[in-house]
Amino acid sequence: MRDLGAGFKHLLKGQRWVARHGRQYGFGLLPGLITLVLYAAALVVLAVWGEDFVAWATPFADDWSSPWPGLFRGFLTAVLFALALLLSVVTFTAVTLLVGQPFYENLSEKVDRDVSPDGTAPESGLPLWRELWISARDSLRIIVRALLWGVLLFALGFVPVLGQTAVPVLGFMVTGFFLTEELTAVALQRRRVELRERLTLLRSRKTLVWGFGTPLALAFLVPFVAVFLMPGAVAGATLMARELLGEETVEEDTENTKENGASSGAPHVTW
């Protein structure tokens, strides 16, 4: 339970950090807005032409007696749109992080420098194209894992009682885990931590990860909300990455800083 609270605190600390750094927050909004527009356009296209696509893909239903072709195709159109929405939720973070790689790398580095005792931030030393390739490759692997879990949970959803109680909860926990992996990857990739190592690291502190990722997954069900929370989520995930790796973190007394323009006491150090 303690780790659950600690994970949620990292999420809140990340939002507070971007609130105190307005310029970073503004730049961090751009990738999410771009991704939201692209996803919205794709969903509108699907809503307008989805029925025509289903009709083209099911010519065998043309000879069925009325009203079965319409009912069958209407059901398939609804399923197609529902799957598109699910895929949007699952992939939104990965695509936003890929689109905004330079923005979020910069934000994460500034968080590291802000809370590091020596004011430095780890650097991967890799060219941008290489970082983008690694990010895209790892994101695709995570999406495949998340979709496999999604298929399993969808099947379990038909089990009486279990499908209506435990499965939705488990679904949000799984989504929260993979969401946290995507977000912490920004900081961990700069430290040259590979995907397999990242997953092992996160599994070693599952309750910490769930405390951070599950509330965020609930909020991210609304993509417009996700846009505004994304910069703070990256900042909070950077703080979590430091804890997972056992790095020393300095936390300033923000209230005193705000009132006096500087910290009135010694920094608080956490591990």
The residue whose two tokens read 């609270």 is 5
d(CA 232, CA 107): 9
- 39 in the Ramachandran plot: left (φ > 0), alpha (ψ -120 to 50) or beta? alpha
Residue 150, both tokens: 């999604």
Quickly state the pLDDT bin for 223 (edges 50, 70, 90). Answer: low
- Residue-range domain boundaries for the chain: 2-245
Q: How many CB atoms are located within 10 Å of the residue 167 CB?
A: 18
Q: CA 223 → CA 46, 165, 246, distances in Å?
A: 17, 25, 33
pLDDT tens readout for residues 150-204: 778 777 777 777 777 888 888 888 888 988 999 999 999 999 899 999 999 999 9
Cis preceding-peptide flag for 31 (omega within 30 of 0)? no
| Alpha carbon 215 to its chain's center | 11
8 Å CB contact between 124 and 190? yes
pLDDT tens readout for residues 10-68: 999 999 999 998 888 888 888 889 988 988 898 899 888 888 888 888 888 888 888 88
Looking at the chain, the whole-number percentage of residues with pLDDT higher than 90 is 26
Q: Is the pLDDT of residue 256 over 50?
A: no
- The whole-model pTM stands at 0.78
The residue whose two tokens read 């992939």 is 91
